Amino acid sequence: MKLHQLQYVVKVAQYRNFSKAAKALFISQPSLSQQILKLEQELDVNIFVRRPNSITLTPKGEMFVKEAEEILQKIDSMMRQMAKHHSQDHGSIKIGVSWIWGYVGINTHLDHFQEKYPGIDLILDPAGTVTLLKLLEERRYDCVFVSPTAEYIETHKELFFHKLVRDHYTCIIPNGHRLADKKSISINDLKNEMLILPGEDSTTRERILKAFREYNIAPVIAFTSSQFNINVQMVCSGKGLCFLSSVVAKACANGQFKSIPIDPPIERAFYYTTQSNSDNPLIPLLTSFVKDNFVSAADVNK
């Protein structure tokens, strides 16, 4: 049994999906499946029940995952304790990043951080905002780059939030659609329209559904997908309308759809978030770098 096999099992248990787990682990799906099957054969235990459209844990699998999580947490704690004996510019930081992190320039800034501090390893793990915040609360991440709701920020005083980017949502509409020539789109305009929304792991879904509730309109949800490139493809093929932040919509522009602002605007902000009392001694260094080097939310919207 290898340590990485424990990590693989825990990740698959978290996502309940081999493809998503492989993507989060930055390995191929066949390699992930092979490693877990090898572990099951070694233990002579089925950890997962594999069905065509779902993955569940067996009773023994539930026990295994619980023990694996405890082992990994103990190892992580040990590594952190050892890191305290290193100089301030050596060690690792485990970072959770929202799916759109590259579109708002976070990757570039983290590259600069590593150039400045080559002895610090940044371990990046992509997921949805809801999942990332939950894992941050459990101290399984040192920090996250996410888009929490205002309600979440207000009710989580134990976390530190630094606003990086303020953005607004646009409605993605295929060329030739009855709404494609409008300067702005209201929620009333979208009544009875087929919509493509992200999954429950996304705060985008929360914000869009909240806007519909405020107008007492029941949205017609045709598809659920958290992969915005797939959502755009479905829009272009006439499957429905979707919503993207303006910065992502601009990056995805292909001439086949219109990105139309929603009126009144549905806004969101992107934050650097960490525990106020993080036990990773390198977090103050990263926090200071973020404050000094990231473009402020006000600058983005000038």
Residue 293: predicted pLDDT: 83
Please write the tens of the pLDDT for every residue from 230-279: 999 999 999 999 999 998 899 889 999 999 999 999 998 999 999 999 98
* Residue of higher predicted confidence among 193 and 126: 193
- Alpha carbon separation from 220 to 197, 212, 302 (Å, rounded): 10, 10, 35
- Residue 295: band (very low, low, confident or very high) from pLDDT cuts 50, 70, 90: low
The domain made up of 169-267 has a fold known as: D-Maltodextrin-Binding Protein; domain 2 (3.40.190)
- Residue 165: band (very low, low, confident or very high) from pLDDT cuts 50, 70, 90: confident
Average pLDDT over residues 158-176: 94
Q: What percent of the chain has pLDDT over 90?
A: 54
Please write the tens of the pLDDT for every residue from 106-125: 888 899 999 989 889 999 99
User: How far apart are the C-alpha atoms of 270 and 290, rounded to whole Å?
Assistant: 13
Average pLDDT over residues 70-94: 76
Please write the tens of the pLDDT for every residue from 21-45: 888 888 888 888 898 999 899 989 8
Phi and psi of 283, rounded to 5°? -60, -40
Please write the tens of the pLDDT for every residue from 46-55: 999 988 888 8
Please report where in the chains the tokens 């559904």 appear, as a residue: 209
| pLDDT higher than 80, residue 101 | no
Nearest alpha carbon to residue 209 among 161, 253, 258, 149: 149
- Residue 83: band (very low, low, confident or very high) from pLDDT cuts 50, 70, 90: low
CATH 3.40.190.10 positions along the chain are 169-267
Please give the distance of CA 278 from its chain centroid, rounded to a whole number: 21
Average pLDDT over residues 127-145: 94
CATH 1.10.10.10 positions along the chain are 1-84
CA angle, 10 then 11 then 14, to 5°: 85
Residue 88: predicted pLDDT: 61
Average pLDDT over residues 83-97: 76
Sequence-distant (6+) residues with CB within 8 A of 113 are: 120, 122, 286, 289, 293
| pLDDT higher than 50, residue 299 | no
25-43 b/e with 16+ CB inside 10 Å = b? beeeeeebbebbeebbeee
Please report where in the chains the tokens 């829009």 appear, as a residue: 235
Q: What percent of the chain has pLDDT over 70?
A: 94
| pLDDT higher than 90, residue 182 | yes
Flag whether the pTM goes above 0.75: no
Mean residue pLDDT of the chain comes to: 89
Residue 79: predicted pLDDT: 76
Considering the domain 1-84 in this protein, what is its CATH number?
1.10.10.10
User: How far apart are the C-alpha atoms of 14 and 177, rounded to whole Å?
Assistant: 39
